[in-house]
C-alpha cells in the first residue's frame, strides 16, 4: 500500500452528519495513526517548500478547528508562525469578521487585526474543501489585512462540489480528491 492509499483508508465516511444528505469526511482515524498523519503533513507541505526567492510563505493560517490540527505542524515545517482564524466571538483581541455559506449552513469567521499584514504571504490550511465558502471567506479576511494569499493547502477536496470555481486564480493544493464518480 502506498502512503496515499493509507491516508485514503483512514478517512472515514459518516453519512448524514451533521445533517441529512451530508457525507462527513471524518479524519479522526487518520489522526490516531501517527505514521499516516505524518505522511499527510508531508504531502500537504511538499508543494510549498520550494518557493522562489521573495515569494516565500511568511505565515500559515489555520481555519478553526481542524485547520489548526494540520496548520500548526505545517507552520513548523516551514519555520514560520501560525495564525488561527476562529469562529465568531472566540478571539480575545481586535478582530475583523467575514460571514459566508459552507456545505452545511452559514457561519462567521474572524482574525486578529495584527496577525498578518502588508508584506506577509499567507498559506491557508484546512482539512476539507467542500463548496469553498470557508476558504474564500478566509482569503477575504487575509486580503482585508493587506497581506497576500500565497495559496491553500487542503487535505481533502470534494471535487464534485466544484470548489475551485469559487477560488478563481488562487493556487489550491490538495492531497486527496474525491470526484463525482
CA angle 135, 13, 8 (to 5 degrees): 80
Please report whether residue 126 would count as binding ligand AMP according to CB under 6 A.
yes
110 part of the interface to ligand AMP, by CB under 6 A:
no
Binding mask 33-62 for ligand AMP (x = CB under 6 A): ------------------------------
Total interface residues for ligand AMP by CB under 6 A:
19
Applying CB under 6 A, which part among 22-30, 31-39, 72-80, 90-98 lies near ligand AMP? Answer: 22-30
Instruction: Answer positive or negative: Cα dihedral of 102, 97, 26, 167.
Output: positive
Residue with the three cell numbers 474572524: 110
Min separation Cβ 43 and ligand AMP, Å: 18
Q: How do beta strands 148-158 and 172-178 pair?
A: parallel
- Residue 167 touching ligand AMP (CB under 6 A): no
- Give me the half-sphere count of Cα atoms (radius 13 Å) on the Cβ side of residue 16: 1
Among 36, 85, 122, 128, binds ligand AMP (CB under 6 A): 128
CB of 23 closer than 8 Å to CB of 132: no
**Residue 86 annotated in active site:** no
What are 101's strand-pairing partners? 106
Whichever of 110 and 126 has its CB closer to ligand AMP, that residue is: 126
Q: Residues 64, 86, 103, 157: which is the catalytic one?
A: 103
**Burial class of residue 81 in the structure, from the number of CB atoms within 10 Å of its CB (0-12 exposed, 13-18 middle, 19+ buried):** middle
| Residue listed under C-alpha cell 482569503 | 139
Name the residues annotated as catalytic: 66, 103
Binding site for ligand AMP (CB under 6 A): 22-25, 63, 66, 102-103, 126-135, 163
Amino acid at each position: 500500500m502506498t502512503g496515499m492509499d493509507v491516508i485514503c483508508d483512514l478517512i472515514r465516511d459518516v453519512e448524514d452528519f451533521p445533517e441529512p444528505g451530508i457525507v462527513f469526511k471524518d479524519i479522526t482515524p487518520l489522526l490516531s495513526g501517527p505514521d499516516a498523519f505524518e505522511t499527510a503533513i508531508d504531502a500537504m507541505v511538499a508543494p510549498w517548500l520550494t518557493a522562489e526567492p521573495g515569494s516565500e510563505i511568511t505565515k500559515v493560517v489555520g481555519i478553526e478547528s481542524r485547520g489548526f490540527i494540520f496548520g500548526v505542524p505545517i507552520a513548523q515545517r516551514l519555520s514560520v508562525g501560525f495564525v488561527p482564524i476562529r469562529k465568531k466571538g472566540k478571539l480575545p483581541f481586535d478582530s475583523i469578521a467575514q460571514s459566508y455559506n459552507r456545505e452545511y449552513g452559514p457561519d462567521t469567521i474572524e482574525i486578529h487585526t495584527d496577525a498578518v499584514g502588508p508584506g506577509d504571504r499567507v498559506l491557508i490550511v484546512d482539512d476539507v474543501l467542500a463548496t469553498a465558502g470557508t476558504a474564500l471567506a478566509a482569503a477575504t479576511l487575509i486580503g482585508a489585512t493587506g497581506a497576500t494569499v500565497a495559496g491553500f493547502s487542503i487535505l481533502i477536496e470534494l471535487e464534485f462540489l466544484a470548489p475551485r470555481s469559487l477560488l478563481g486564480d488562487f493556487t489550491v493544493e490538495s492531497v486527496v480528491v474525491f470526484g463525482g464518480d
